[in-house]
């Protein structure tokens, strides 16, 4: 996309929607709250003319931006006082900004019936917004790259972003922890982009359309500390202990997209389709949790970067990560789940490196599910990176519920459980894990047949498997039992290491 640099300061409009609400809001109060909040974050907010009559404030030539620099302009706007104590805001049709400097261009926003309703909510203000459609169009030029010392040619970029049946709420609730909330729903989110970089001899276009967008976010900021004052890991830890927190949840339906790149070095022509998905983030003093799930993916690449068509598909995908944030005397929970089902390539792509089908074309599967207890402290980890003083979290337990992978007819599975004694300064494990591998020798034979593995490399791999694994119940099955005992004694199939 285009580079907005400092001109995107106008996106700080969210900070304008602040202030202490009254039982019945007036248009003048809402407008004044915008100007007051703008001055707090370095934005100049003004109107060429203001006129109040019969509970309606009419503004013409509204400008929002950093003093002395181009900002967001709105041709006109009305703020109307309603009988229920709310204020309805109706912006005019001409909304946009002009960019100057290294990046030149313009942004224009058009809408179909955009209205914003300001109401009192828990001592603060909430802004409900809705529109049948909102479009954002941009054009820009900015300096490209030069490889011979000559003046770099300009890069041009343009595009549009469109929301259909848009609705949502922004809120600002005062208190010991000032909480900002934002929610957005849209039937469709679509965009198109194009760019032309003469210096790189590259042109690119892309399109995307996603159904059923649903996003909700909250941010809690302690009243005892300013966001700009958080300048060190210690400040960050203090803010977390006093209530700094963030949450995000997302849902979306099916999406489709294209990407075409004209380039002598990396030509690409892609079509993409993804099933619905959802995700969430929770971050506070107790936990960091990131979760994401998607129902499937289909990417088709026309010949260009590769000499043949390439089709990549997958089934459901899942990623979950949980970790403690601030260490306490009691260890916290951590976990990692990573799953990828039915990842596959088309026959033409397989044939590029395995034309005789020496390897089975089975779809690949990955499954990781581990958890346990630890005293991880993210603030201390960041401080260690800055100071160079090592930091080691205390690992108390590890549960391997699932650890598996399957590809080209071979499969590995493992389960296990360990506890750790940290009294010696390093974690001393106690427990066992069981590993099963099937189809390994057949996979090695197939890799040799394709030329991807040399005979001498295969011999080394088979020797390693012979050292650490024993034959299983089925043909081409190997198993291994790994035990960690008192005194840092490690046994593999009953034999101590080193073997």
For the chain, what are the domain ranges?
409-499
Tell me how far apart the terminal alpha carbons of the chain are, to the nearest angstrom. Answer: 57
Helix (H) or strand (E) holding 154: strand 154-173
Q: Which residues of 134-161 are buried (b: 16+ CB within 10 A; e: fewer)?
A: bbbbbbbbbebeeeeeeebbebbbbbeb
In terms of DSSP bridges, do strands 202-222 and 287-294 run parallel, antiparallel, or are they unpaired?
unpaired
**Measured distance CA(452)–CA(444) in Å, rounded:** 9
Residues 6 or more apart in contact with residue 397 via CB below 8 angstroms: 372, 373, 417, 418, 419, 420
Helix (H) or strand (E) holding 31: helix 27-40
Within 13 Å and on the Cβ side, how many CA atoms surround 98?
5
CB 268 within 8 A of CB 305: yes
The pLDDT, as a whole number, for residue 14 is: 43
Instruction: From 74, 53, 66, select the one nearest 100 (Cα to Cα).
Output: 66
The pLDDT, as a whole number, for residue 497 is: 81
pTM (predicted TM-score): 0.85
CB 426 within 8 A of CB 398: no
Angle made by CA atoms 214, 219, 224, in degrees to the nearest 5: 170
**Measured distance CA(459)–CA(314) in Å, rounded:** 33
The pLDDT, as a whole number, for residue 15 is: 43
**Measured distance CA(65)–CA(46) in Å, rounded:** 9
Q: Per-block average pLDDT, block size 10, for the chain (499 residues)?
A: 38 44 78 83 89 96 85 95 96 92 93 95 90 97 84 93 97 87 97 94 96 97 80 87 95 98 93 97 96 96 94 97 91 96 96 94 97 90 80 90 97 97 86 97 95 93 92 94 92 84
CB 238 within 8 A of CB 289: no
The pLDDT, as a whole number, for residue 11 is: 41
Tell how far CA 93 is from the center of its chain.
33
């Amino acid at each position: 996309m285009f580079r907005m640099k400092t001109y995107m300061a106008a996106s700080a409009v969210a900070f304008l929607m602040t202030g202490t609400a009254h039982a019945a809001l007036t248009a003048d109060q809402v407008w004044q709250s915008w100007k007051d909040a703008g001055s707090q974050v370095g934005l100049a907010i003004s109107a060429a003319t203001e006129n109040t009559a019969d509970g309606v404030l009419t503004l013409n030539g509204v400008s929002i931006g950093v003093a002395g620099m181009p900002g967001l302009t709105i041709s006109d706007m009305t703020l109307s006082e309603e009988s229920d104590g709310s204020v309805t805001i109706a912006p005019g049709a001409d909304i946009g900004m002009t960019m100057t400097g290294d990046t030149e261009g313009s942004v224009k926003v058009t809408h179909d019936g955009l209205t914003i309703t300001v109401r009192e909510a828990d001592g603060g203000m909430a802004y409900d917004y809705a529109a049948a459609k909102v479009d954002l169009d941009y054009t820009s030029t900015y300096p490209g790259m030069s490889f011979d010392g000559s003046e770099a040619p300009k890069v041009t970029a343009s595009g549009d972003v469109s929301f259909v049946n848009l609705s949502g709420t922004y809120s600002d609730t005062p208190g010991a922890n000032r909480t900002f909330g934002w929610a957005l729903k849209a039937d469709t989110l679509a965009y198109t982009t194009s760019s032309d970089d003469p210096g790189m001899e590259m042109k690119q276009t892309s399109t995307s359309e996603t159904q059923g967008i649903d996003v909700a976010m909250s941010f809690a900021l302690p009243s005892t500390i300013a966001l700009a004052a958080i300048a060190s890991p210690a400040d960050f830890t203090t803010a977390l202990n006093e209530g700094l927190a963030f949450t995000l949840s997302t849902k979306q339906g099916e999406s489709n997209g294209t990407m075409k790149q004209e380039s002598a070095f990396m030509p690409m022509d892609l079509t993409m389709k993804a099933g619905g998905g959802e995700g969430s983030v929770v971050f506070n003093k107790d936990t960091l949790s990131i979760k994401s799930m998607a129902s499937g993916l289909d990417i088709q690449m026309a010949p260009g970067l590769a000499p043949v068509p390439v089709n990549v598909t997958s089934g459901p995908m899942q990623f979950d990560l949980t970790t403690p944030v601030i260490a306490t005397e009691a260890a916290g929970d951590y976990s990692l789940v990573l799953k990828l089902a039915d990842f596959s390539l088309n026959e033409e792509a397989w044939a590029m490196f395995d034309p005789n089908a020496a390897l089975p074309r089975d779809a690949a599967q990955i499954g990781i599910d581990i958890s346990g207890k630890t005293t991880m402290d993210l603030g201390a980890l960041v401080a260690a990176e800055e100071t160079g003083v090592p930091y080691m979290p205390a690992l108390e337990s590890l549960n391997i519920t699932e650890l598996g992978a399957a590809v080209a007819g071979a499969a590995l599975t493992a389960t296990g459980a360990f506890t750790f004694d940290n009294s010696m300064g390093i974690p001393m494990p106690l427990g066992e894990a069981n590993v099963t591998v099937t189809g390994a020798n057949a996979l090695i034979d197939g890799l040799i047949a394709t030329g991807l593995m040399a005979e001498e490399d295969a011999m080394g791999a088979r020797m390693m498997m012979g050292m650490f694994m024993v034959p299983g119940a089925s043909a081409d099955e190997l198993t291994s039992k790994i035990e960690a005992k008192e005194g840092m004694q490690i046994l593999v199939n009953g034999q101590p290491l080193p073997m």
